[in-house]
Structure 1
Amino acid sequence: MGTEGDNVRVIGGRYRLEARIGRGGMGVVWRSTDTLLARQVAVKELAVDESLSEAQAHEQRERMLREARAVAQLRHPNIIVVHDVVQHDGRPYIVMDLVNGGSLADRIARHGPVDALHAARIGLALLGALRVAHAAGVLHRDLKPANVLLESGTARIVLTDFGIAQVEGATTLTETGGFVGSPEYTAPERMAGDRSGTGADLWSLGALLCAALSGESPFRRDSMGGILHAVVYEEFRPPAEAAPLLPVIQGLLEREPARRMGLDEAERLLRAYVATGATPQAAPPRMVVVAGTDVVVVHRRRVPTRVLLVAAAFLAAVAGAGVAAAALLADRDDNASQGPPSSTSVPTRTGTASGSPTPTVTVTREETRTATPRPTAPPGYRTVRDPQGFTVAVPQGFSRSVDGERVLYMSPRRTFRIGVRTAGPLSGGPAAEQRRAAADGPRSDPGYRDGKVTDTSHDAHDAALWEFTRDGFSAAEGPRRTMDLCWEEGGRAYHVWVSAPVGRIDEARGYFDAAVDTFVPSAGN
């Protein structure tokens, strides 16, 4: 038992819990004293589901402790320091560094939003923390302003509360026991129940940056159903305050994980803003929103139908969300080629008082290529018109070569390789094509492993993303990761892929996103 007296407990034989300084969905945080080393620490008392059987509760505690120990191995100036992990009276506790200062959420509540320069510096600090965590296979899964500490008297920004973190590849009890996290900052793939990767943390960062600049999450609504609807369906309407960092925020809030901005690209753009006060702009696909007599052009990406359907079912289970779910299902985008651009009425961001009808806007989708122009080449890239019948943006300094049916653009020393292959119609479509290739991977690619095929879309065309790791072409090169997107368009099939060392995959995602976003088949190809 802990030592009781004057409402003070001692756990682990040395940590005296003195005052509660925070509470969240995963437990209570105490200002404490390490009596052995005579220093102040923070102790998080993790909540345990009291409805579990004794065996289940034991399993939950053990998993929490394993995950906490994994987080304790992380070392970065912008990650909270974990000193110890203990179990006391059947309950797990995490002993952490005590950061004197409030959270970003406290800062916003007391003083309002931060300016763009401060937000960019917060973003850079969190990207540095996520880089280290992701490299160690740790996903945070609850990135939000309340979990970002601003140390008083210094400029240090600290990411904390890895209490629901997940070790990549492991199934955790916090995951299997139900949804855990903050819905306003949760990526659509997690809402849909998919196993999420590092991109889910980057989505959360995009929502956090928007909140830091405007004062609230862009997905805040009056109900859980409204939040889920906003995350998986509604067009992102950036607040005016987000304009200085909008290219980063939009890139991070890309709904399709395969097209979401990578960590390296987000870091590059934020550093550019800090250095120059200006962020490079890109022109993503768009749609037209008609509200009354006003016409507003906003940025758009197609939401995968599977995500819409799963989210709609989830919404229907939430009290008061039936209407939102019905609207979502009625407006699903199964096949843009089945008819002319459609219109639907959807709720605006907030309702009206006294039970008056919720205002609506009419959304008209433009699905033709002429209505959704490709982004121009990002800074540091050049647009090439390839003799094989396509244009694409590739980084400056990449050289071209041809390997059979494949066109390759490679960095010096072949570290990064961007590939394009065109073919005739596919038997069974892109998904079948990619799954055949994945099944053949162990034979065709030495050391093939961690293969995964994900159904997705590309500019309203069905597509499939194949990701896998293989041995490098030499022992010195090490293992490599490949991302390969396949889709059919105009009677032809297209593959665009990027291959890179496993340790530099985030940088490669930036190249991949640029290639996919700017790829255009030549007329008549």
Structure 2
Amino acid sequence: MSDEGRLVAERYRLVERIGRGGMGTVWRAADELLGRQVAIKQLHISPHLADDELATLYERTRREAQSAARIAHPNVVVVHDVVDDRSVPCIVMEYVPSTTLADVLKRKGRIEPEEAARIGRGMIAALRAAHAAGVLHRDVKPGNVLLGTGGSHGPGHHADGDPGDHATSGAHRAVGRGPLGDGRVVLTDFGIAVASGTSTLTKTGELVGSIDYVAPERVKGGKPGPASDLWALGATLYQAVEGRPPFRKDTAFETAYAIAVDELPPLRHAGVLAPLVEALLDKDPDARPSAETVEWTLRAAAAEA
């Protein structure tokens, strides 16, 4: 039986499923109290989960909302509420009519450096705001970059249903103008983000995030930091201009090994972005440029292009 039309928390009417992944389903919903459209992310609960695993999933969902709610910035999705739905926590978010960078790259293969620079500026602005609030994203990837397409529904949010999948499986509906959107770039899905000063939600040795975008220090078991998010930004920009993640191999293990030890494959289509992407993908986190430098360089690259 479909959940379409069902009322959640006596307030949110589920209208249309817009994303689905291993850990969650995202719906466009109508807020019947305030008369606006929202997105609701429902957590998937396996009946075979142990109590401690179930508690971890619950805590991850609540922490996603808490982390995102600490960041007030137009390039970060707005979190409105956290509600219980049949004993499962759900996050109520801004609804952004959008496509994702992952969907665009799947369709087009790669994009031009000037467009990648524009998208990168939105991403680095979001990361600077997050890091200033003491929040690490830890899953920056093309599937978590929303490209607003305008449309008749007004501002809102389409979120990746699964923050931890190796490949993004959430579907994002494009509404309105143009293949690359109307200009708004939104970083979403803080589902595995960790606020500074809080304990991690991973078991010893477990990597959280999509392996193609996991920084070398994390592959080697080190503690993630802001520089790890910047490495993931570099990997995302590399894929945007080259058409594939920089270190992807046939298996996740081989990819992780390549990230840790292999030289960066040469950039052939990056143009003015090449020096920045190479710097972001430095194996040494201390050698990567600061977020401020990244933002300045992206603006200069766009002006040069």
TM-score (norm 1): 0.49
Identical residues among aligned pairs (%) = 47
Instruction: Give the match for residue 18 of structure 1.
Output: 15
SS at match of 2:270: helix
Q: Distance in 1 between matches of 2:189 and 2:64?
A: 12
- Find the aligned partners of 2:48 and 2:134 in 1 and give their Cα distance: 30
What corresponds to 1:163 in structure 2?
191
Structure 1: distance between partners of 2:119 and 2:218 = 24
Given that 1:254 and 1:261 are in contact with CA atoms closer than 8 Å, whether structure 2 keeps it comes out as: no
Q: Shift of the alpha carbon at 1:78? A: 0.8
Instruction: Select the residue among 97, 102, 112 that pairs with 1:100.
Output: 97
Query: How far apart in 2 are the matches of 1:128 and 1:78?
Result: 7
Partner of 2:239: 211
Instruction: Say if 2:67 and 2:193, in contact at 8 Å, map to a contact too.
Output: no
1:313 is aligned to: none
User: Per-residue displacement from partner, 1:385-409 (whole Å, max 9, x unpaired)?
Assistant: xxxxxxxxxxxxxxxxxxxxxxxxx
Say if 2:109 is the partner of 1:112. Answer: yes
Cα drift, residue 21 of structure 1: 1.4
CA RMSD of the aligned region, Å?
Answer: 2.1
Taking a change above 3 Å as real, the CA distance of residues 90 and 6 of structure 1, as seen in their structure-2 partners, is: closer
Counterpart code for 1:13: E
Distance 1:250 1:175, change over 3 A: farther
- Which residues of 2 match residues 443-522 of structure 1 at below 5 A? none
Can you list the C-alpha shifts for 1:200-257, whole angstroms capped at 9, x where unaligned?
1000000000111112211222211221121111110133012321111111111111
The 1:47/1:213 distance shift into structure 2, 3 A limit, reads: same
Aligned residues: 274
1:27 Cα deviation from its structure 2 partner? 1.6
Match of 1:256 in 2: 284
1:398 alignment counterpart: none
Paired AA for residue 250 in structure 2: D
1:191 to 2:219 alignment: yes
1:89 pairs with 2:86: yes
Deviation for aligned residue 1:194? 1.9
What residue in structure 1 maps to residue 25 of structure 2?
28
How many angstroms apart in 1 are the aligned matches of 2:205 and 2:25?
Answer: 20
Counterpart of 1:33 in structure 2: which amino acid? A
1:49 Cα deviation (Å)? 5.9
Q: Tell me, which stretches of 5 or more residues in structure 1 are unaligned?
A: 278-525
Q: Name the CA distance, whole Å, in 2 between partners of 1:251 and 1:181.
A: 21
Q: Secondary structure at the match of 1:216?
A: coil
Q: Which whole-Å deviations, capped at 9, do the CAs of 1:18-37 have from their partners, x for residues lacking one?
A: 32211234322112221222
The one of 128, 133, 136 aligned to 1:136: 133
C-alpha distance in 2, partners of 1:76/1:7? 31
Does residue 72 (structure 1) correspond to residue 69 (structure 2)? The answer is yes
Of structures 1 and 2, the one scoring higher in RCO (CA 8 A, sep 6+) is 2
Equivalent position of 2:170 in the other structure: none
User: In 1, distance between residues paired with 2:253 and 2:277?
Assistant: 24
C-alpha displacement at 1:51, in angstroms? 4.4
In structure 2, do the counterparts of structure 1 residues 9 and 245 end up closer, same or farther at CA, with 3 Å as the change threshold? Answer: same
Equivalent-residue separation in structure 2 for 1:37 and 1:248 (angstroms): 44
Inter-partner Cα distance in structure 1 for 2:125 and 2:194: 18
- Indicate the SS of the match to 1:173: coil
Shift in alpha-carbon separation, 1:173–1:270, aligned structure 2, 3 A: same
CA distance 1:127–1:5, shift in 2 (3 Å): closer
Matches of 2:36 and 2:203, distance apart in 1:
34
Contact 1:17 1:31 in 2 (8 A): yes
Distance 1:54 1:237, change over 3 A: closer
CA distance in 1, matches of 2:107, 2:53: 42
1:46 deviation in Å? Answer: 2.5
* Higher strand content, 1 or 2: 1
Shift of 1:52: 4.2
Do residues 181 (structure 1) and 209 (structure 2) align?
yes
Deviation at 1:169, TM superposition (A): 3.0
1:231 aligned partner: 259
Change (3 A) 1:90 1:172: farther
Contact kept in structure 2, 1:46 and 1:163, CA below 8 Å: no
CA change 1:196–1:6 in 2 (3 A) is closer
CA deviations on 1:13-70 (whole Å, 9 max, x unpaired) are 2122232211234322112221222222111113346544435533542453144223
Distance 1:126 1:120, change over 3 A: same
- Provide Cα deviations, 1:111-151, integer angstroms capped at 9, x if missing partner: 33221111111111111100110111111111111111111
Task: Report if the CA contact (8 A) 2:4-2:16 is conserved.
Answer: no
The CA distance in 1 between the partners of 2:228 and 2:21, in whole Å, is 20
Counterparts of 1:199 and 1:6 in 2: how far apart (Å)? 41
Equivalents in 2 of 1:210, 1:93: separation in Å?
34
Name the counterpart of 1:41: 38
Contact map agreement 2:8 2:85 (CA 8 A) in 1: yes
What displacement does 1:178 show? 3.4
- CA gap of 1:172–1:209, structure 2 versus 1, over 3 A, is same
Map 1:66-465 to 2 at 5 A: 66-152=63-149, 153=177, 154-174=182-202, 178-277=206-305
Provide TM-score, normalisation by structure 2: 0.83
Contact 1:184 1:227 in 2 (8 A): yes
Structure with higher Rg: it is: 1
CA contact 2:60–2:191 (8 Å) conserved in 1: no
Q: Which runs of 5+ in 2 are unaligned?
A: 150-176
Q: Tell me, in whole angstroms, the C-alpha distance in 2 between the residues paired with 1:249 and 1:73.
A: 29
For residue 174 of structure 2, what is the aligned residue in structure 1?
none
